[in-house]
Structure 1
Amino acid sequence: MRDIIGNKTIPKRLEEMTHIYPNKTFVVFEDQNEATVSLTYEEFTDQVRRLAQALQNYGIQKGDKVLLHLPNSMDFMISWFAITSIGGIMVPTNILSTANEIAYLLEHSETKLVITETDYVDKFASFQKRLNGIFLSRSYEDRHDGVSLQKLIDQTEPLKTFPDLSSDDVAAILYTSGTTSKPKGVLVTHANYIYAGEIMSKSLRMSPEDRVLIVLPIFHGNGQYYMSMPALSVGASIAITERFSASKYFKQAKRLQATVGSLFAAPIKMILKKPYDPHDAEHSLRLIVFAQSVTIEQLQAFEDRYRVPLRQLYGMTETIGTPLINPLDGNYDNLSIGLPSIGYQVKLVDDNGMEVPDGETGQIVVSGVPGRTIMKGYFQNEEATNKTIIDGWLYTGDLAKKDPTNGYFYFVDRKKDMIKRAGENVAASEVESVIHQHEAVFESAVIGIPDEIRDEAIHAFIVLKNGYDISPQEIIDFCTERLSAFKVPEAVHFIEEFPRTSVGKIQKHQLKNYISIGR
């Protein structure tokens, strides 16, 4: 495969676009009070260079890790580009992480300096002596536990001499969510970011006239890979909101003049659950990409109400870009995760690594070059790296089927979410898709619970639509009519809402707690 990356780096790409579009808005940010601030390419680059110099003044050198514990903000963007411009390594973290979780990430990543807010600084108190410093965003005065980020930027001259960087240098460590084990740190190089920008900008047909809308947490790869880097690649602009709001999403899109958005299934369902405002269909969005399961009725309702096309895609932190995506032109099927996208080769394999025939379930594996088109590996975890990248193929742990007639890939389940019941394999997603057909069901999740007789028992957790009140037996009977007996849930639990990650994924490993407390 032809290398489209060369020796490009994040700071070189920013410098290039700043030269071409100095007075064009690059980033506009809206906080939760709807106050906005915007920076042109030239203004943004000036702020980046000032913070880069401040970081060097605090002893941060090439290869050092700087942990960002910030909500979506202009400061996050400036910090990201400042860290990588001097060869530092950004470690973005979830602001919902507990002090214990942060302690692990600090130790494991070997962080030298932290950028956070006063609301979260207590999480870092016990590490303050060994850190080079703590910079405080949205604090306009220095404190005993940190210095004002904005004051540092304002009082520091822009960095003039930058270290030599290679596209193969690590630019970030993105920690994946841990369920039954500690999070793994995905090593993302400058080449990875450049590749994501090139591939996604072409897949989403971005131009300098576009403005992407980021409402999901930007510590996650979605906002970095699919939105920010493609925008930078073509000289477009970026709109960021401090947090996602289902009732405000389209109002924000209109205010911020966004053209391309990115959502997960959960935010789409949350938007649909809100009272419909016809004025929300008056916006400039030309496309919203999304991931994870949405029913055909929900897809239709969303597109009809808000008059914007949706396209489902598939990707993960380790794949960098999206190996599978529904095409913008011609035929598409948003119940599928799409076709192989530009720059990717995808196949489905069995447990022995052999490709399965079309129509059969297999694990999604993606061909790539570590550190360039797929992740470089897991930080300080050679064993996990070697299990994930084998002979140039990245094993995703996700199961899918490929339609023999049209070539589209259809997600089946996470491999670890397959339920073993009395010797039979049951895909939780298959049971969920049937449950979603019931008129009273808003959302469901199915898990396996250890069972002495059947290996695992199938338990369904359901959030009902407003105004509905049904019994567990009604759901069991509904499934009995539509599923083989071994796929029918033994138990049904109604809950008010699902425990979720910061990007809306249901945390299935926590659902067992609902059983233990009698819900």
Structure 2
Amino acid sequence: MWAFPEIRNVADIVRYNAKQYPQQTATQFMGYALSWAEFDEKSSKMANAMRSAGVNQGDRVLYYAGNADDYFLTIYACAKINAVFIPMNWRLSSTEAAGILNDAKPALAIVQNSFKDLWDSARSMIDLDIPSIDMIAGQREQNPLWQWYDGADSSDPNAYCGLDDTTWQIYTSGTTGIPKGVEFCQAGIMNMRLCEHLEPAYTWGAQDRFLFCVPSFHLLGLGLSMQAMYNGATIVIATQFDPTEVLQLINEQKPSLAGVAPVMLQMLLDHPKTENTDFSSLREIMYAGSAISVGLLKRAMEKIPCKFMQFYGSTESGGAITLLRPDDHDLNNEHRLTSCGKPLPLIEIKIIDTDGQTLPANQPGEMLIKLPSIAKGYWQKGEAWQEVFNTGWYKSGDVGYFDDEGYFYIVDRAKDMIVTGGENVYSTEVENCLSLHPDVAAAAVIGVPSEKWGEEVKAMIILRSGTKPSEADIIDYCKAHLARYKCPKSVAFVDDFPRTGAGKVSKKDLRAPYWENHGRSIG
């Protein structure tokens, strides 16, 4: 059933590529390249060093570090001994990190020197003895991590990996509460690779170079880079998402593929060095992670001469659920640009009402998804998993609909929908309208308390540099394009939005000050 019969689990990806493309570059990082043969050998050494340190099958290994070749080496080293890889969100506070450490109870941690103080602080809050290995990104032979495993056996440990064995554990960003450890098993990860491989819009191959510039703990980067490596592509690694560094890598390393979140795309377009960047090597940009405004997408398509493809998914889905394929990116069809596309092969979606009844086309309701890559569950939180997954369907928490041509549209998160005077207002619709205003760089729309309407629409606006529209200007613009009840009753101009660790706008934090001392939940 697999696209490549020799690749049956995560560890097989590096084994296969080391045989097929031994001298081709696997990773390019800070001026240093590792071939697939070198990558295979190093990941085996690290795996054997982990075993010698007491890491057994099923044990958790925490990666508390940023983007680096070590990130990928750790993924495959864990896979070769059937240990569980956990990429830690390094943006969390030490208190939040301590909560995850207490939940995961890792047998070993790899800790980058720049996060050592946070690590030590988090460790001091819990009663666990967690061995750790220091790491300094990009130092090659001077890297303490490389020195730690350098003398280990270079033969492949080749541990047996069952299809239901947990391989990754990724903690949710926590926008709806305490982060949960989402477990991914070998079968789910490989099924996602199969769904993407069966999709004609994915034309990735060993000749490609994938730009990895999203945070290391984000499934967007992990999923897309795995798909790139599954097809033998080289991974060009940025140390972090810094627009200057990313634009320099595009100029110098000539990636052909890239994956970004919409906020990153906006930062690239707004950067002064964009004008002197040669984007000609890029043939496709994948964007995902949060909603994108029509205005931003149009700017990107006009500036960067490549194909664009959007995917909609969630941490629990293990990757893409739907794709808005390159051929659907038509600047003359603005409504289609607001779609999240159609499902990938092997994936089904249905829309249900509050009574659980399936809805026809053009009727908004909650999106339920059936897919072979679904997560195994929430680590030690079985009841919470049952709330979102039962009878084979995953409850996305998103409100959406499909049109007569089968294209799906996300109109809101169920919890972000605004009910004003008995009418449902979907914040994304208002945000899309605002994004087309010439003075608006970014917009976030929330519901705030109203004595008359229960709640009313409020727009939070980040302005373009050098512009200064009034609140009335923004509201009047909306009135010219939207039904009156959907229009903001008030506008706040801000420098930035509160964001989750994954870079998404935190609507919960935006709403919180307005709903304090009110009876409604703002989660």
TM-score normalised to the size of structure 1?
A: 0.90
Query: What is aligned with 1:90?
Result: 85
AA at the equivalent of 1:335: T
Query: What is aligned with 2:106?
Result: 111
AA at the equivalent of 1:388: V
Give, in whole Å, the separation in 1 of the partners of 2:189 and 2:402.
29
1:232 paired with 2:229, answer yes
- Cα deviation for residue 271 of structure 1 reads 1.8
- Cα deviation for residue 397 of structure 1 reads 0.9
Query: What is aligned with 1:199?
Result: 195
1:265 paired with 2:268, answer no
Query: What is aligned with 1:454?
Result: 453
1:57-79 Cα deviation digits (max 9, x unpaired): 11110111111111111111111
CA contact (8 A) 2:56 2:83 kept: yes
Give, in whole Å, the separation in 2 of the partners of 1:516 and 1:417.
14
Query: What is aligned with 1:218?
Result: 216
1:504 paired with 2:503, answer yes
Query: What is aligned with 1:313?
Result: 311
Q: 1:140 to 1:357 in 2, by over 3 A?
A: closer
Q: Which runs of 5+ in 1 are unaligned?
A: 31-35, 142-146
Query: What is aligned with 1:37?
Result: 32
Task: Single out whichever of 94-103 and 78-87 deviates more from structure 2.
Answer: 78-87
Query: What is aligned with 1:367?
Result: 370
SS at match of 2:26: strand
AA at the equivalent of 1:91: I
Determine what percentage of the aligned residue pairs are the same residue: 28
1:411-438 Cα deviation digits (max 9, x unpaired): 2111111112222221111222222232
1:42-121 equivalences under 5 Å are 42-121=37-116
CA contact (8 A) 1:212 1:260 kept: yes
Q: Which runs of 5+ in 2 are unaligned?
A: 331-335, 517-523
Task: Single out whichever of 4-13 and 432-441 deviates more from structure 2.
Answer: 4-13
CA RMSD in angstroms comes to: 2.6
CA contact (8 A) 2:349 2:367 kept: yes
- Cα deviation for residue 325 of structure 1 reads 0.5
**2:340 aligned residue (334, 337, 342):** 337
Give, in whole Å, the separation in 2 of the partners of 1:491 and 1:79.
49
SS at match of 1:83: helix
1:377 paired with 2:360, answer no
CA contact (8 A) 2:13 2:230 kept: yes
SS at match of 1:111: coil
1:30-68 Cα deviation digits (max 9, x unpaired): 3xxxxx221111111111111111111111101111111
- Cα deviation for residue 104 of structure 1 reads 0.6
Query: What is aligned with 2:325?
Result: 327
CA contact (8 A) 1:139 1:148 kept: no
Q: 1:415 to 1:515 in 2, by over 3 A?
A: closer
Q: 1:288 to 1:328 in 2, by over 3 A?
A: same
Give, in whole Å, the separation in 2 of the partners of 1:296 and 1:512.
24
Give, in whole Å, the separation in 2 of the partners of 1:277 and 1:243.
18
AA at the equivalent of 2:324: N
1:162-173 equivalences under 5 Å are 162-173=158-169
- Cα deviation for residue 331 of structure 1 reads 7.5
Give, in whole Å, the separation in 2 of the partners of 1:353 and 1:505.
29
SS at match of 2:103: helix
AA at the equivalent of 1:303: M
- Cα deviation for residue 348 of structure 1 reads 1.8
1:469-484 equivalences under 5 Å are 469-484=468-483
1:168-187 equivalences under 5 Å are 168-187=164-183
SS at match of 1:162: coil
- Cα deviation for residue 278 of structure 1 reads 4.4
1:206-231 Cα deviation digits (max 9, x unpaired): 111111111111211111112x2212
1:2-39 Cα deviation digits (max 9, x unpaired): 67798921112321221121111111123xxxxx2211
- Cα deviation for residue 200 of structure 1 reads 2.7
Length, aligned pairs only: 501
CA contact (8 A) 2:317 2:374 kept: yes
Task: Single out whichever of 147-156 and 358-367 deviates more from structure 2.
Answer: 147-156
